[in-house]
């Protein structure tokens, strides 16, 4: 029996066509349509075969069935003689409507919650990187015997604004990428760094399952060094009524008594409690408000979700006592969370490896990070368990072994701009003159674009692209200053209509090279957590 006929029969369970038959199906669909089909994408549901195809200038959703009715899909259909009768072949754009209809047919393409499994968030600022992320995850799992759960749709509101994208488009791009690669193991969708209730609403409507609340604007970093009178004044500014407690009760609960952590004992002084409340109290109140709104909105939408709280983009380190304060108060306020991103020791800058303190050697800084991270693990195991999240986690290769050793599976690695840098690596190889244009754009806009990031790259320290031969251009992507400058200026590049068009066209014309660069890079990210 023809594989086409087999999967057009009613009553078959929805899912991917087995790999042993997918290639034959893909070839047959290609012969019927004249469109190249990605073999891994062939799937079936409700007596319909779905596949993702590629034309010279775009991608297209194809499906074959006996009936003319396209249901919820929108596209053009034709009847063609095939397989002992007539088959309807539909050609559909990769639109929001068609992505939603496809997720209803193939449930594995719908974002889901991940829970406490070790996980990796793969930000994709261009909407083209998902196949490379999936290939990396497959390679790591095949070689190590274990893998990481993937969050394939992840973008912050800040990044959406700078790229001209929106939350729904980010989920849809991940949907198409997962279909292309035949990824049926599920994935999450991270509404990253949410700051307002309106942000929450947009992401609930788009079906996100992982919500990263960023109350950083409500953290008072000056509380770290405030003198006693100023510290009390700051503590009194905490919205205690929203927290359903007061400073005296808080001090009574947390200070002056031993706190048994998973593998150690901690005693917190009254001053430490007061300082923690002054620093993080307003942030906790904001997080609780965001969480309650999310609970209400997700119930209306019948959406499962999980929460992360992030205070990583702040100026001062989160101490062990402050972590205890955050976790104990979240629990008292009945906030449920799956992961937390403290501000760790050292500098986690964009797109480069861990940076230690200037007064210490790198070896000494790594030892200090190990000691501090071990305490955060103890708190997370005691008040959870919950995962510790590494934000700006891209390229932090020197700390991955430490994090994996100490946290085990209770870790979430969050990456974003490093995928954009791998896109630029592809451009540097295949279109060096175009890469130089992008580099000049980055140099022109860095003084302005760096303002909202914790970075230390300096323009006068960046390698001059014009001093390098075409074959040497990729050296810029190994240079500390160039990496950060290229990283944080992505918005200026992709909002330039001409640069954005040419960037997308170059990557689509060289997609296997692009996916290969992403796979190699993300294997390096995931492998230390899957040993």
CA separation for the pair 161, 478 (Å, rounded): 28
Query: Do residues 89 and 71 lie in contact, with contact meaning Cβ atoms separated by under 8 Å?
Result: no
Closest CA to 370 of 403, 341, 324, 409: 403
Check: CB of residue 399 under 8 Å from CB of residue 366.
Answer: yes
Q: Do 291 and 264 meet the contact criterion of CB atoms below 8 Å apart? A: no
**Residues near 135 by Cβ (< 8 Å), separated by ≥ 6?**
181, 515, 518, 519
Task: Please state, in angstroms and rounded to a whole number, the distance separating the CA atoms of residues 48 and 106.
Answer: 11
What Å distances lie between residue 222 and 115, 163, 230, 235, 376, CA to CA?
35, 33, 10, 12, 22
33 with 61: CB under 8 angstroms? Answer: no
Cis peptide before 385 (omega within 30 of 0): yes
Task: Measure the CA–CA gap between 81 and 70, rounded to whole angstroms.
Answer: 18
Among candidates 407, 325, 331, 531, which has minimal Cα distance to 116? 407
40-65 as b/e, with b when 16 or more CB fall inside 10 Å?
A: bbbbbbeebbbbbbeeeeebbbbbbb
Q: What residues are annotated to the active site?
A: 192, 308
Our separate counts of H helices and E strands in the chain read 20, 17
CA distance 206 to 528: 33
Tokens of 515: 């996916």
Decide if 362 contacts 355 (C-beta within 8 A): no
Residue 319 DSSP symbol? P
- CA-CA-CA-CA torsion sign (232, 238, 241, 245): negative
Q: How far is residue 49's CA from residue 66's CA, in Å, rounded to a whole number?
A: 10
């Amino acid at each position: 029996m023809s594989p086409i006929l087999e999967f057009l029969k009613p009553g078959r369970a929805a899912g991917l066509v087995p790999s042993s038959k997918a290639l034959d199906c893909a070839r047959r669909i290609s012969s019927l349509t004249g469109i190249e089909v990605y073999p891994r994408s062939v799937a079936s549901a409700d007596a319909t075969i779905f596949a993702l195809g590629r034309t010279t200038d775009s991608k297209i959703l194809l499906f074959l069935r006996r009936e003319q009715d396209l249901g919820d899909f929108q596209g053009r259909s034709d009847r063609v003689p095939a397989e002992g009768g007539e088959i309807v072949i539909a050609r559909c754009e990769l639109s929001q409507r068609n992505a939603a209809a496809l997720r209803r047919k193939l449930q594995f393409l719908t974002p889901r919650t991940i829970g406490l499994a070790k996980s990796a968030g793969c930000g994709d600022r261009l909407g083209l990187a998902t196949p490379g992320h999936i290939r990396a995850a497959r390679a790591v799992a095949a070689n190590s015997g274990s893998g990481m759960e993937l969050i394939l749709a992840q973008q912050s509101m800040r990044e959406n604004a700078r790229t001209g994208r929106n939350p729904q488009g980010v989920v849809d791009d991940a949907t198409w990428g997962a279909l292309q690669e035949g990824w049926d193991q599920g994935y999450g969708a991270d509404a990253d760094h949410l700051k307002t209730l309106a942000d929450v609403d947009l992401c609930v409507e788009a079906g996100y399952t992982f919500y990263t609340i960023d109350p950083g604007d409500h953290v008072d970093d000056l509380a770290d060094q405030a003198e006693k009178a100023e510290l009390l004044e700051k503590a009194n500014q905490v919205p205690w009524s929203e927290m359903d407690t007061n400073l005296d009760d808080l001090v009574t609960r947390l200070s002056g008594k031993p706190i048994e952590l998973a593998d150690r004992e901690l005693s917190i002084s009254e001053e430490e409690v007061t300082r923690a409340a002054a620093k993080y109290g307003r942030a906790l109140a904001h997080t609780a408000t965001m969480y309650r709104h999310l609970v209400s909105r997700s119930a209306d939408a019948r959406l499962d979700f999980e929460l992360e709280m992030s205070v990583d983009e702040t100026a001062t380190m989160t101490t062990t006592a402050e972590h205890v304060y955050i976790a104990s108060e979240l629990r008292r306020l009945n906030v449920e969370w799956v992961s937390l991103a403290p501000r760790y020791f050292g500098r986690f800058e964009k797109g480069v490896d861990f940076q230690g303190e200037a007064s210490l050697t790198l070896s000494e800084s790594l030892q200090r990070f190990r000691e501090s991270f071990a305490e955060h693990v103890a708190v997370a195991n005691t008040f959870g368990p919950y995962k510790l999240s590494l934000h700006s986690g891209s390229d932090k290769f020197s700390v991955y072994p430490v994090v994996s050793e100490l946290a085990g599976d209770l870790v979430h690695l969050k990456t974003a701009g490093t995928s954009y840098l791998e896109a630029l690596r592809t451009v540097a190889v295949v279109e060096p003159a175009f890469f130089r244009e992008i580099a000049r754009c980055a140099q022109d806009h860095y003084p302005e674009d760096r303002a909202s990031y914790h970075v230390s790259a300096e323009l006068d320290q960046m390698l001059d692209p014009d001093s390098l031969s075409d074959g040497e251009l990729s050296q810029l992507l190994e240079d500390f200053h160039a990496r950060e400058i290229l990283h944080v200026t992505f918005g200026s590049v992709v909002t330039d209509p001409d640069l954005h068009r040419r960037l997308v066209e170059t990557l689509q014309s060289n997609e296997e090279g692009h996916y290969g660069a992403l796979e190699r890079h993300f294997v390096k990210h995931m492998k230390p957590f899957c040993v």
